[in-house]
Amino acid sequence: MDADAPYLPIDPAQGPRSRAFAFYREAERPRWGVTFPVELGALLTALPRWRERLPGLTAFVAYHHAVLRAANAVPALRQRLTPEGGAVEWRAVDATPTVLRADDSFAVARLVYAERLADFAGPALAAVAEALRPESPWGVRTAQTGELHMTTLPAVAFTHFTHARRGGFDDATPSLALGGFQREGERVHMAVNIEVHHALVDGVHVGRFAEALQGLLSEPERLWA
């Protein structure tokens, strides 16, 4: 295996999750999801100060970076099934969120992961600006599975979300939806929905993701480290 390859082969049929992998690999409906709230008041409070270092930084880019960093910290969320029946683990995954254009249509941007917000924000802002251009491609130019499918519903504080899918039986790419802000004094809550493939991802993994995400949002200066 090339040491510089973006992903590594893994064998989930071996090890402590072997039975769960075999069972859910053949399940009729192998994907499952959950919705949970996060509190991001500290991040939104920090934004004006951060814009002195990163002019043009948006809340959209900042909280997408937090989601990506939390997801990349959980190996199960970087794992994908292969058509041959095996699996791979990506070294890092990007985000492909939808962005709303001026004519009420939407397009897909690719936000390339970088651990530090200072390295992530500039390319992410450029990717969003490119996706907003009417003449730009509607979707991501290069299809791959080293990504998280993401969407936002800023006008809706939802408690449940169902994702549209067309990836087929082996689609193990996590899908996420982020809801609108609910303000309660200085506290601001946002719904996060995540849908995953049970052959690779269990509740404990989603729990670790939720904990990591809230930790970053509560201490947003960590996004710079």
Which domains can be identified in the chain, with CATH numbers?
A: 7-224 (3.30.559.10)
Integer Cα distance of 132 and 71 in angstroms: 26
Tens digits of residue pLDDT in 9-31? 999 999 999 999 999 999 999 99
**Token representation of residue 92:** 């890092």
Integer Cα distance of 153 and 82 in angstroms: 31
Are the C-beta atoms of residues 128 and 137 closer than 8 Å to each other? no
Tens digits of residue pLDDT in 135-166? 888 877 665 679 999 999 999 999 999 998 87
pTM, rounded to two decimals: 0.95
